[in-house]
Chains A and B, each alone.
Chain A
Amino acid sequence: MTWDIATLLTVSGLQISSIYLLTGLGLVLIFSVTRVIFVPFGDISVFAAITLAGFEAKQVPGTIPLVAAIVVFALVVEVTSRVRRREWRVIPKAVLYWGVLPLVPCGLAWLVGHFGAPAEVQIAASILLVVPVAPALARIALQPIADASVLVLLIVSLALEFVTSGVALLFFGPDGFRTQPLVPGSITLPGGIPLDMQVVLMICVAIIISGLFYLAFQKTTMGKALRATAVNRVGARLVGIRPARASTLAFLAASLLAGFIGVLISPVTTLYYDSGFLIGLKAFVAALIGGLVSYPGTAIGALFVGIFESFASFYSGALKDAIVFGLLIPILIIRSILIVTHEEDPEELDQ
């Protein structure tokens, strides 16, 4: 391996890292508030990317009916649970929050797809379209069992990913998608290595957003309320935080993040209906380095995984995924040695 190749691999590693960083932040955000390891996260990014690709192909993207269907399903679940508890008075509000508001981005996206719009509007519409997805999926599959053990939540979330990616296949077919670069052109690094502006943009966005995340979570009251919910749902409720609302907020923010990731990644990678799964899982490997709770830890993990993957693909493109996942085991072992856990709570599956 020459120095040039190493630099090239490092740059491509940084680009991959930026995606894992953003995805990892979303996963940590959701986990730290809801204790859910949200496997379908990557799928939401893919939805945003496919939407943008559809706009660019001057079509009404298949994601619009898909998102609308998910939203309506969530609305039905929400209203049914209200009716069951005979909370008639909150139903109009539920319809507004779970039905009308989430359908606004769908309408917007439909208009953009139908009449065409400048690239910036297309991008914004693609990101906005997927914002209701994570909260709606969570409302359907996770919130009814919010008090279950982390393991049950993990299994449900994994099964949920199979459902979303399978349904995505029905809506989009097995073809790959790719979009135009958000910023054209490239710069040349010292040493004559070309660097696409898109890559520079990805890395910059990743740094800015992760900085904002860190500040928002550590310094604001809302961030603290979200963290409190994660530590102890009952305790949070006692001091006036509504766990269900905090969860929805976390899913909403993560969904927005997923939208950003989708439009950032689609110009550099061809995405398929099932690409989200691997993106999400590798971001997990990154997030696990930070123990699933630390934002700076996730950043370090993302950097490590991205560059590792880049170099691994140089040695064996086919085995790179196996190598990255294989990496998880030593990471977990080192963690278990460094961090002594106390007598754990019983994790029960069938209670």
Chain B
Amino acid sequence: MSRAAPLLASVIVALFIALFPLVSGRFMVSLFNEIGIAALVALGLVLLTGVGGAVSFGQAAFVGIAAYATGWLTLTEIPSPWLGLLLALALTFVISLIIGMATLRLAGHFLALSTLAWGIAIPIVFGNVAALGRFSGLADIPAAHLGSLSLASPYRMYYLIWIVVGLSLLFSFNLLRSRTGRAIRGLRGGNTLLASVGANAYWTRVWLFVIAALLAALAGWLYAHTNRFISPSPFDLHASIDYLLMAILGGLGSLFGSVLGAGVVHLLQNELQNILPLFTQYAAQLDAVVVAAIFILLLHFARAGVMGYVLRLYHRWPQPLPTFQPGRNQLVQPLAARPKPEQGKQLLAARGVVKRFGGLIAVNDVSFEVNAGEIVGLIGPNGAGKSTMFNLLTRTLPMSAGHVEFLQQDISKLRQLDVARLGVARTFQHVKLRPRMSLIDNVAMGAYARGRAGMMRAGLRLNRKEEEQIMEEARAQLERVGLVQRAYERAGSLPLGTQRILEIARALTADPVLLLLDEPAAGLRKAEKHALADLLRKLRDDGITILLVEHDMDFVMNLVDRLVVMSFGSKLAEGTPAAVRADAKVQAAYLGSST
């Protein structure tokens, strides 16, 4: 994608922010301080909710924890705001980690409701602790200072606040373009895909939650030392909802939306505070009504927010997509490859595997083996239990009885992501891609387990080398399956058959020992099937073992070394394609028995 226009826009916005105090009064500068502080919280929500898909109704509580931490420390213990910052961040880190670990296993609205619970409970605690000034709050919090330079004036705080906002945006931008960032972007839509590339969705979500809370904590610290007075009400549920409104209004799909959303909401509330008292004595409450009504309208008519419109306008102009030179980029050192097992050695063994769904036995005492360097086909009529078998082999589903060995190691008790990390990569019968991510980002997800850099290193851009290696690997695998020219298109724009091929590229990026393909040829045209068969043979020659489920018999018979046939959950036959074809039981299962 062309980077020029967004870069230019960022520079213009940054210049505007930098020059703004020179041309405006104290009041507007203070308002912009509030906007910057709120933008930090909203940025956390864009990451957590917009990208990660987890709604939080309690973000203001984290702002409060940090504000009260620094307020209490600087007023009663040590008058150093910088130590206050340290305490604020540390306390928020611990609390958000505990809350996150406790609640982030919950799905969807249960998670949202639990955030509502602590979003209400925590501000009540502020209002009832004597050391925190109860409902009258803490006054005369000392101003921050840089060396001997006091930051008491809003003009000086302004630059501190907006530098923090700028750096946080940069951190978030870097984070999302990294190995962990792609996992974060993959969170929405279920955990199975992430586990299949060796990523832990739960911990990814927990750390994302902590990062969002830390952004809120930065905001809380800035708030305490800008206003120098805190009370419980700016951290209550209404405030949390305001932050959510900012994130959605600005546009959940865009980091910069947080700044826009915070700006629009604060300017609007400022106007309301001027206008509403003319009509009613309950202006403060009515203000909340108007904001809530706008929120409802927004969710009815414009869920993509302001940035949604901006981006749509921007994408009207044709974008030149970057293209790649063919062949490996020699400047990038390839990622370390896994040693491949010796040809013919036993790689995978299923022994007496059983899967029951309630009363239905989907897989009944099936045993077979796959040796290194083979292509083995798993075939059978519809409903034979082939895809279930795949899910059992990869530990996507727990099995009811029996066990599976991979490289002589019992993997029946491992988690799905641990099996993936051992070198078992797979594709899915119902394609699991992230349709709004580009092809290359989808493919790069496959290399998750081959990287090391965590979220902090990614945000600080200390992962440059690894990131280059991963992207080069993803590019190489896209080239291998013939999709490299479309690398920056959205995965959702591909036809279904091609999406299956994209899944293969993602699986290959993981550098697998064993590749499990669930109906890879479905939806492909004849020429494409030939190309796929050639690719799979080439992979076998490179030492990758392949187990595949497929319905297209021509495709299977000409490709595989060996076949395992399943019918109604049981293994029916096993052998070379010719032997299986001649097997009377197999013929009966497929064509019906003549007796």
Chain A residues packing against B (C-beta within 8 Å)? 37, 141, 144-145, 148-152, 154-156, 158-160, 162-163, 166-167, 169-170, 174, 281, 284-285, 288, 316, 318-319, 321-323, 325-326, 328-329, 332-333, 335-336, 341, 343-344, 346-351
Chain B residues, Cβ within 8 Å of A349: 49-50, 53, 55, 248, 252, 303
Asked if residues B109 and A150 are in contact (CB atoms below 8 Å), the reply is yes
- Residues 264-288 of B at the A interface (beta carbon under 8 Å): 280, 282, 285-286, 288
A322, B124: Cβ atoms closer than 8 Å: yes
Q: Which of A156, A162, A281 contacts B289 (CB 8 A)?
A: A162
Contact of B190 among A160, A319, A326, A344 (CB under 8 A): A344
Is B117 touching A325 in the complex (CB atoms < 8 A)? yes
Cβ B128 vs Cβ A319 within 8 A = yes
Q: Are A326 and B118 in contact (CB under 8 A)?
A: yes
Is B108 touching A344 in the complex (CB atoms < 8 A)? yes
Residue of B nearest to A141 (CB): B296
User: How distant is the Cα of A253 from the Cα of B558 in the complex, in angstroms?
Assistant: 64
| B: number of interface residues (CB 8 Å) | 56
B247-271 vs A, CB cutoff 8 Å, 1 = contact: the mask equals 0100111000000000000000000
Q: Is the CB of B308 within 8 A of A321?
A: no
Given known A-B contacts A160-B292, A321-B120, A349-B252, A169 and B285 have beta carbons under 8 A apart: yes
Partner of A166 from the list B103, B124, B251, B292 (CB cut-off 8 Å) is: B292
The B interface is mostly helix, strand or loop, or mixed, namely helix
* Contact, CB under 8 Å: A347 / B108: yes
Evaluate contact between B303 and A163: CB separation under 8 angstroms: no
B102 within 8 Å of A by Cβ?
yes
CB of B57 within 8 A of chain A?
yes
What would 12 more interface pairs be, CB under 8 Å, given A325-B121, A336-B106? A152-B299, A155-B248, A281-B120, A321-B120, A322-B122, A322-B125, A323-B121, A328-B117, A343-B190, A344-B108, A349-B55, A350-B253
The closest CB in chain A to the CB of B304 belongs to: A350
Asked if B485 is at the interface (CB within 8 A of a chain A CB), the reply is no
Contact B117 A329 (CB under 8 A): yes
Complex Cα–Cα for A319 and B120 (A) = 11
When the two chains form the complex, which single residue of A169, A323, A344, A350 contacts B303, counting CB atoms closer than 8 Å?
A350
Listed A/B pairs (11) with beta-carbon separation below 8 Å? A141-B296, A156-B295, A158-B116, A166-B285, A166-B288, A318-B127, A325-B120, A329-B99, A329-B103, A347-B108, A347-B188
User: Quick check: is B105 within 8 A (CB to CB) of the other chain?
Assistant: yes
Q: Which residues of the partner chain A approach B282 to less than 8 Å between Cβ atoms?
A: 169-170, 174
CB neighbours of A336 from chain B (8 A): 105-106, 110
Interchain CA distance A77-B99 in the complex, whole Å: 41
Contacts of A322 in B (CB 8 A): 120-122, 124-125, 128
Chain B nearest Cβ from A276, distance in angstroms: 14
- For residue A346, which residues in chain B have a CB less than 8 angstroms away from its CB? 53, 188-190
Q: Closest approach, in angstroms, between the C-beta of A318 and any C-beta of chain B?
A: 5
Q: Nearest residue in A to B398 (C-beta to C-beta)?
A: A340
Among B112, B117, B292, the residue within 8 A (CB) of A159 is B292
The contact string, 1 if C-beta is below 8 Å from chain A, for chain B 300-319, is: 10011100100000000000
Task: List A contacts of B127 (CB < 8 A).
Answer: 318
Q: Which of A169, A318, A326, A350 contacts B121 (CB 8 A)?
A: A326
Q: Which residues of B contact A328 (CB under 8 A)?
A: 113-114, 117
Docked CA distance A288–B127 (Å): 27
Q: Give the contacting residue for B112; candidates A151, A319, A326, A343; CB below 8 A.
A: A151
Knowing A155-B55, A329-B102, A347-B53 are in contact, say whether A150-B108 is a contact too (CB < 8 A).
yes
Residues of A close to B106: CB separation below 8 A: 332-333, 335-336
Q: B244 within 8 Å of A by Cβ?
A: yes
Give Cα A163–Cα B300 distance, bound, in whole angstroms.
Answer: 15
Residues 82-124 of chain B, each 1 if its beta carbon lies under 8 Å from chain A, else 0? 0000000000000000010011011111101110111011101
Q: Are B118 and A329 in contact (CB under 8 A)?
A: yes
Measured CB to CB, the closest approach of chain B to A255, in angstroms, equals 19
A162 contacts across to B, CB distance below 8 A: 238, 241, 288-289, 291-292
In the bound complex, CA of A281 to CA of B280 (Å): 29
Measured CA separation A344–B193 after assembly (Å): 12
B252 touches A350 (CB 8 A): yes
User: What distance in Å separates the Cβ of A12 from its nearest Cβ neighbour in chain B?
Assistant: 21
